[in-house]
Homo-oligomer: A and B are copies of this chain.
């Protein structure tokens, strides 16, 4: 199969032709923009982020786009366009490329992001490297560095499910958690809303411990987090019992948002989130003292497992 056929097959599920110039020229041409652009690049690699034993090609396509959209969500950006670089193992079939696109296109449509270009290459294993861009709203981008002591920490959805899903892939257990692992949902709506209230934000991709650390470092603050306040699904509670918090703290790949909200904006933020149907939990606050402390239900500092590092060469 020639590269040209792969391009045609891949582009089709995305429907609308990407104007003004899309896949097919040396570059895509995207319209000018009055607002700054948020740009992120992220890859999913076979054997590192997924295996084809447990992920369908549709899952891979979905996840590749989802992890990039999650970065846009964390900045409070409105998704605009993306390019897709595919590395395919020798012998990849047209049906597989189409399946990958079929897994990606519905999420792209839902997020309002347009495929404008891409590249195919051969490789030993399947990988999908996307670069996605979004426009910053009137309030500017939500950075990691804006947090101040006293800001309240919020976490969206539930934590630890994707890690539980990873542990259960191929089993009959924890079907919802497995879906969280294979088909993460970027929190775009909450990210946009948060740009109006939050002082800082990050998406939880490496686990709460790690990503909270990044936010604290960038904001030059510390944090105090209540383990009992961490939002945990009934599935995780059932599977992990009283250890559920360990998964919630260090799991990784949840693609929930961690937000710092100034005290004076807390009520408005909670109300706006509730009205928009986003579940958020107040899990702690930022502190002047530059250490991240997790406390149990009785307020005692508790050692927590380290974040889940994607990258361990």
Contacts and interface: CB of A to CB of B under 8 A. Distances in A.
B27 A38 contact: yes
Given A313-B90, A313-B122, A41 B144 contact: no
* Chain A to chain B: the 10 pairs with minimum beta-carbon distance, closest first: A131-B131, A27-B38, A26-B74, A3-B311, A41-B83, A26-B71, A27-B40, A129-B129, A124-B124, A27-B75
A242 B119 CA distance: 35
A124 B6 CA distance: 23
Contact of A120 (B29, B40, B131, B311): B311
Contacts of A24: 144, 218
Interface residues of A, number: 74
Given A123-B127, A127-B123, A313-B92, A25 B85 contact: no
Interface string A111-140: 000001111111111010101001010000
A37 B41 contact: no
Given A28-B38, A33-B37, A85-B131, 17 more contacts: A20-B36, A24-B144, A25-B75, A26-B38, A26-B40, A27-B74, A27-B75, A29-B39, A32-B37, A33-B33, A39-B83, A41-B83, A42-B119, A43-B87, A87-B129, A122-B311, A122-B312
A37 B302 CA distance: 50
Contact of A143 (B25, B75, B89, B122): B25
A294 B134 CA distance: 46
A66 interface: no
Interface of A: 1-3, 6, 20-21, 24-43, 45, 47-49, 70-72, 74-75, 77, 81, 83-85, 87-92, 116-125, 127, 129, 131, 134, 136, 141, 143-145, 201-203, 218, 309-313
A38 B34 CA distance: 16
A137 B215 CA distance: 39
